[in-house]
Structures are given as structure tokens and as C-alpha cells.
Amino acid sequence: MMKTHFVMTALAAGAFMLASCTSMVDGNTVRANQVGVASQALPATVISAKNVTIETTGTARNIGTGVGAAVGAGAGQLLGGGSGRIASTVGFGVLGALAGRYMTDAAGNTAGQTLTVLIDGTKNTTYTVTQPVSKQTGYIPVGTHGMFYLGGNSRFEPDGNF
């Protein structure tokens, strides 16, 4: 009975961890909230580029922490015996929470860039956008020419000549 409970808890925790993982979206994949969003394509050149880390969302972090705590507490319940069972459950629960938070942060943080672009044909029309680093292009250097998509999900896409 107790082993079955632990196995069920571990399977549920694994499912939650997989569901909370996010992957980097590339130029050929769109998120559901991007469907139907209009944007304007403007030729532009990158005039400033700063490398940043895009943090894990608070929700994913909380799920990872909670699942880790549940798995740790379940393991502590199985490993502890007699009067030490409560201490074992609490101790392993805390360790599991820390491990779950760390794993969620490590898996969820994404490399990104804050880019400032100058719209071609203008003297001072600039836009700044923070976006994940694309698998296809990698980090985008200053001086790169491409298209700036201004709209609900603004982004800069290089034209491939850099």
C-alpha cells in the first residue's frame, strides 16, 4: 500500500515536471497566443545588443518546488521509521522542495537578448525588444540587418547576411 502510494506520487510529480518545462520557440514554431496577432514588418538594423537571461516564470518555479516537496516527503515517509518518521518526512520534503526549485530554474531559464533596432530610412525611429536567442541564428551582433516585426509579439529576425 505504502509503496503504491509512493510510486503514484512519483509518477504524478514526473508528469507535473514535464508539463512545467518550457522549450525555446524557434522561427518555425508559434505559441497559441501568437495566432491571429497582426504585426508590421519593418526593415531594420541592430544598433545595440545586450545578452540577458530570461527567468523561469513564477508559476513553473512554484510547481517545481511543490512537486519536489511532495516527492521528497513521500520518500521521507517510506525511509523514516517509528518516531523519526515525521522528522524524515519533513526533512526530505524540504530537500525535495529545494531540488525541485533548482531543477525548474535550471531547465527553464533561457538565453536572451535585448535588441535596439533602427528602422531603415529613418534617422531616429528605434524600437527595443527582448527575445530568446534563436537556435538558428544564435546571438545577434550589432550591425545585423533584418526585419523588425512590430505588433503583439514584437521580434527581430536577421536576414541571414551577418
Domain count, the chain: 1
* Percentage with pLDDT > 90 across the chain: 25
Give the pLDDT confidence of 40-88 residue by residue, as tens digits. 999 999 999 999 987 766 666 667 777 778 877 777 777 777 777 777 7
Nearest Cα residue to 74 out of 136, 14, 135: 14
Let me know if residue 107 belongs to a domain. Answer: yes
Buried b (16+ CB within 10 A) or exposed e, 39-67: eeebebbbeebeeeebebeeebbebbbbb
- The label of the residue with cell 533561457 reads 110
Amino acid at 61: R
**CB hemisphere CA count around 24 (13 angstroms):** 18
Q: Would you state the pLDDT for residue 160?
A: 73
Name the percent of the chain in helix, strand, coil, to the closest 5. Answer: 45, 30, 30
Q: How confident is the model at residue 27 (pLDDT cuts 50, 70, 90)?
A: low
Distance of CA 12 to the CA centre of its chain: 21
Q: Look at residue 79 in the predicted model and tell me its pLDDT.
A: 75
pLDDT tens-digit map of 2-18: 454 444 444 444 444 44
Residue with cell 505559441: 31
Assigned domain for 31 exists: no
What gap in Å lies between CA 130 and CA 126, rounded to an integer? 14
Domain that holds residue 79: 2-22+37-158
Cell numbers for 61: 518555479
Instruction: Decide if 17 is inside a domain.
Output: yes
- Residue 8: what pLDDT? 45
Residue 21 has pLDDT above 60, yes or no: no
Is residue 27 situated within a structural domain? no
pLDDT of residue 86: 79
pTM of the entire structure? 0.51
Tell whether the model's pLDDT for residue 121 goes beyond 90.
yes
DSSP state of 127: E
| SS3 state of residue 108 | helix
Question: Which amino acid is residue 37, in one-letter code?
Answer: V
